Structure 1
Amino acid sequence: MIVITAPTGQIGGRLLDILLDEAPAHGEELRVIVRDPEKLPDAARARVDVVTGSHGDVETVDRAFADADAVFWLAPPAPPRTPSLDAAYAGFTRPAAKALTTHGVGHVVGVSALGRGTPVADRAGLVTASLAMDDLIASTGVAYRALANPTFMDNLLRQVASIRDDGMFTYTFATDRRAPLAATRDIAAAAAALLLDRSWTGTDEVAVLGPEDLSVGDMARIMSDVLGRPIRYERQSLDDLRAALSGRGFGDALVDGYIDMMRSKEDGLDDGVRRTPDAASPTTFRTWCEEVLKPAVQA
């Protein structure tokens, strides 16, 4: 039995699709934890065991982890007014950590971030909290693989309106600074492979780095080419980002977490892992723009 958390999100939803195709050949049954089962596709809902509730709830994870062999773990986005990043990550995960031990779950695959071992890892906001969550899960004694991810290509979908209407996107990065980018579908594929072949033991990270490092200048050129119109990059200052997040109702803990993460990315947070054939996930930014961004902009 494989338990999937966040099965209606970008990563969890794609993972569910993959496992619905591949799990039967491995003799695996699937269970999902979801707040609203109606958000699951009808075909998926008919083929999985559904536990309704939050995977941060003690009773929900206790029911969901019974008889489970493996768990896919993804902490949800932090609530805008979370009192602390610890509450949003390790705090949210503590009921599940206890349930993993209670039910003797053998393997967990979690979505995390790059940065462990870098000089800025202890002051990287959301990433620092995510790494602490990994440590909590690993402390239960399960075999654990943390998918260590850079910035998601799919984050650009939040800026579809600006790209479509103004021909512009923003980040806080210097125009020529290159860094890895990953597509969420590749993260889901990496999770599926680990969940279906559980021959691994112990605790480790699995980097999902994409096939190349790109700057935001490179991204602008590729988007312009794919969309057939000029797309420009406008650098946002950290002060402007802080004001924008506060204006959207985010509390101090989450605002500080975002600012610290973005500052740390500029200072090399995502540069600590060398790209190897195993870490070089396949989706190029150009392919992602053609298959994901362009249809979203045209829609």
Structure 2
Amino acid sequence: MILLTGASGNVGTALLAELRAEGVPVRAAYRDPRKVTEDAVLLDFAVPDTLGPALDGVDTVFLLAATGPDQPVHELNLLEAARKAGARVVKLSVWRADEELSPIARLHRPAERALTSSGLRWTILRPNFYLQNFLRQTSIREAGVFSQPLINAPISFIDTGDVARAAARVLTSDGHDGRIYDLTGPRALTYVEAAEVFSDVLGKPVRYVHFPDDEARAAMIGRGLPEFQADALIEVARAYRDGGAETVTSAVQDLTGEPAVEFADFVRRHRDFFG
């Protein structure tokens, strides 16, 4: 039995569908008691009393807590419960988390360190920037433009569906203990090159514009992003502004036997959204 935390997020939702389609025994974990069903359980990272029951009968845990100031404590709580249960743990982390170049990486790193010294069977997945972040950009449809904090260098964007497919293979097959997989898309693009792909696929001009960090932060908050996450994304942009996120790996292909999604295919799939 696999316990899937983060089941309501982009990766978690796709992973849950992938595992259920394959007939894999999986138990989704939710903080909202209204979502508890025969194959879904209540789990609140901040309430340790909910962790043991959620892990009852579980041999593998997919670990993903919500991004926020309490994330390290929440993930460490779950790791302690997994240690007591003797469960294997597959941790979804972020790109280059071990270098702690950004606030988001620093949120994931305590659980990574604890996991590797826990004595448990473990695997860590470190995906690069998600393509799905572009789905926040309604301005592509409305005005043929998207804005991001300034990053000049290419990024090997990855589809969350590919992250889910890779995670499913790790969760359901042997040979991954003690491994760290860096997950990327099949090629690296700058935001300017991404705008060109949008233009080609959508058949309309699309431009990338960037603002000073303080203006980019205000714009993200204006779109409804919490201040903590906006600040973290600005720091991510600063960390990779001139390079560091352009590496392309074959991990998705190696794990799943299928290539990672191309940027243009992602845009085609969401053509209705982008307009």
Q: TM-score, normalised by structure 1?
A: 0.81
Correspondence 1:206 to 2:181: yes
> Is the 1:113–1:149 Cα contact (8 Å) retained in structure 2?
yes
Query: Alignment partner of 2:254: what SS?
Result: coil
- Amino acid of the structure 1 residue aligned with 2:106: T
- Amino acid of the structure 1 residue aligned with 2:134: L
Taking the TM superposition and a 5 Å limit, the aligned residue runs for 1:156-235 are: 156-159=134-137, 161-175=138-152, 177-202=153-178, 204-235=179-210
CA deviation string 1:266-296 (max 9, x = no partner)? 143424x5523638951000011111x3122
Taking the TM superposition and a 5 Å limit, the aligned residue runs for 1:86-101 are: 87=70, 89-101=71-83
For the aligned residue pairs, the C-alpha RMSD in angstroms reads: 2.5
| Cα offset, 1:21, TM superposition | 1.6
Moved more, 126-135 or 229-238: 126-135
- List gaps (5 residues or longer) in structure 1: 79-84
CA deviation string 1:10-58 (max 9, x = no partner)? 1111111111121x3xxx4211111346669xxxx6xx62112424431
> Is the 2:15–2:167 Cα contact (8 Å) retained in structure 1?
yes
> Is the 1:151–1:180 Cα contact (8 Å) retained in structure 2?
yes
Paired position in structure 1 for 2:235: 260
Query: Alignment partner of 1:64: what SS?
Result: helix
Paired position in structure 2 for 1:73: 63
CA separation in 1, counterparts of 2:27 and 2:264? Answer: 34
Paired position in structure 2 for 1:35: 31
Report the CA distance shift for 1:246/1:20 in structure 2 as closer, same or farther (over 3 A). closer
Moved more, 8-17 or 255-264: 255-264
Paired position in structure 1 for 2:89: 108
CA deviation string 1:116-157 (max 9, x = no partner)? 46xxx3341112222233222333222222211111100000
- Amino acid of the structure 1 residue aligned with 2:127: N
Query: Alignment partner of 1:262: what SS?
Result: helix
> Is the 2:42–2:54 Cα contact (8 Å) retained in structure 1?
no
CA separation in 1, counterparts of 2:53 and 2:95? Answer: 32
Tell me which of the two structures has the higher relative contact order, counting C-alpha pairs closer than 8 angstroms and 6 or more residues apart: 1
| Cα offset, 1:170, TM superposition | 1.1
Q: TM-score, normalised by structure 2?
A: 0.88
Percent sequence identity over aligned pairs: 27
| Cα offset, 1:264, TM superposition | 0.5
Query: Alignment partner of 1:180: what SS?
Result: coil
* Residue among 47, 52, 60 paired with 1:57: 47
CA separation in 2, counterparts of 1:249 and 1:232? Answer: 22
Paired position in structure 2 for 1:81: none
Paired position in structure 2 for 1:289: 267
> Is the 1:163–1:297 Cα contact (8 Å) retained in structure 2?
yes
Query: Alignment partner of 2:261: what SS?
Result: coil
CA separation in 2, counterparts of 1:39 and 1:296? Answer: 28
Query: Alignment partner of 1:113: what SS?
Result: coil
Taking the TM superposition and a 5 Å limit, the aligned residue runs for 1:131-142 are: 131-142=109-120
CA separation in 1, counterparts of 2:146 and 2:221? Answer: 20
CA separation in 1, counterparts of 2:193 and 2:220? Answer: 26
Paired position in structure 2 for 1:243: 218
CA separation in 1, counterparts of 2:184 and 2:31? Answer: 31
- List gaps (5 residues or longer) in structure 2: none
| Cα offset, 1:227, TM superposition | 1.3
CA separation in 2, counterparts of 1:259 and 1:268? Answer: 15
Correspondence 1:147 to 2:122: no
> Is the 2:30–2:44 Cα contact (8 Å) retained in structure 1?
yes
CA separation in 2, counterparts of 1:67 and 1:236? Answer: 51
